Amino acid sequence: MGHKNTILLALLATMVAKEVFAAQHVVGGNQGWDQSTDFKSWTSGQTFKIGDKLVFKYSSLHSVVELGNESAYKSCDISNPIQSLSTGNDVVKLEKPGTRYFTCGTLGHCSQGMKLKITILKGNAPSPSSSPSSSPSSSPSSSPSLTSPSSSPAITTDASSASQCFTSFMFILALSLTLILSLF
Ligand SMILES: [Cu+2]
């Protein structure tokens, strides 16, 4: 009877879980979005996945311009941007796998190295892959067989962030239980 609702709630919990597990990448770390930051080395320490967010933090000297392709990125050609942002605290959601290019719109900053090229991986890909077109992902779309929230194995995590994820998992579990109980 309440079966449908339970499945819906399980799906909802999975969606919340994906949101919780999604990472926020503050571009450039503590140095932020600035021409003195080494973005290549910053990027090499990051893993970007679908659902993650980039956060650009910068002073009014800068802006964020997203470029459409590699050649515009290489030549610092900002004449045909995908989008321009300038709040100083911009959040860019990574919704698709592939490569994205960002630079600063201030004259000269791109050529001084203020540019960012990132590769976004599919969901639970275990290792960075330069080809965004490969590997059928073991999609995290959970099977609806997830009928009991107390035994939901749908969430896979890196071992490194296991404890952090466990906390989040308990939170989601409590949330689902609350929702389910409120229905009966
Ligand atoms: Cu700049």
Q: Report the DSSP pairing between strands 64-67 and 83-85.
A: antiparallel
User: How many Å lie between the centroid of ligand 1 and the Cα of residue 83?
Assistant: 15
Q: What is the pLDDT of residues 95-112, one digit of tens each?
A: 999 999 999 999 999 999
Domain positions in the chain: 3-20+153-183, 23-121
Backbone angles phi, psi at 39, to 5 degrees: -75, -25
Residue 150's pLDDT is 43
Please give the DSSP secondary-structure letter assigned to residue 149.
Answer: G
Whether the predicted pLDDT of 179 surpasses 90: no
Sheet of strand 89-93: strand arrangement: 24-26, 53-57, 89-93
User: How many Å lie between the centroid of ligand 1 and the Cα of residue 67?
Assistant: 15
Return the CATH number of 23-121, one of 3.40.190.10, 1.10.287.3610, 2.60.120.10, 2.60.40.420.
2.60.40.420
User: How many Å lie between the centroid of ligand 1 and the Cα of residue 143?
Assistant: 46
User: How many Å lie between the centroid of ligand 1 and the Cα of residue 56?
Assistant: 11
Q: What is the pLDDT of residues 19-60, one digit of tens each?
A: 667 899 999 999 999 999 999 999 999 999 999 999 999 999
User: How many Å lie between the centroid of ligand 1 and the Cα of residue 48?
Assistant: 23
Cβ atoms of 65 and 84 within 8 Å: the answer is yes
**Which residues have beta carbons under 5 A from ligand 1 (an ion)?**
62, 104, 106, 109, 114
User: How many Å lie between the centroid of ligand 1 and the Cα of residue 25?
Assistant: 18
pTM exceeds cut of 0.75: no
Point out which residues pair with 121 in neighbouring strands.
Answer: 49
Residue 30's pLDDT is 94
Cβ atoms of 131 and 119 within 8 Å: the answer is no
Q: pLDDT over 90 for what percent of the chain?
A: 54
